[in-house]
Structure 1
Amino acid sequence: MTAETTAHLDKQIVYVCYCESSNCNAATKGALKLAELGFKVKRLSGGITAWIAAGYPIQGEPGGIRCAC
């Protein structure tokens, strides 16, 4: 991520970075990079699998969510 590739993003909203589970650190790396670029950012602890296990809602099919790292 660079200032150029994120120029279209709104710096006034909070972005949430997440991975599939706590076994991956891509969300942490992404959140750090966005913060360095001046974005408001949070990292979802435990990943999307923990979110789903806690019963929180998602959009789309749960089986369709995969980590790309």
Structure 2
Amino acid sequence: MDKDKTKPAAVSRRTLFAGAGTAGALAAAAAALPLAQPAATPVAAKPAEPEGEGYRLSEHVRRYYQTTRV
């Protein structure tokens, strides 16, 4: 018999299942990444309403008008 002949390495069942589990975990992580929400963009502050006499449509007046709608 010739001792130089080597047996081809077969993938063991344990290695196969470990690789499949790793591939599944990577696929789940890749699927979850696009669902991550981007960072919130800063919203510009509302300009201050000019001080003066007379009628102004302020936020609480708008809310009142919304409650009177039918």
TM-score (norm 2): 0.24
The structure with more helix, counted as a fraction of residues: 2
* More contact order relative to length (CA 8 Å, sep ≥ 6): 1
Answer with 1 or 2: which has the greater Rg. Answer: 2
TM-score (norm 1): 0.25
The structure with more strand, counted as a fraction of residues: 1
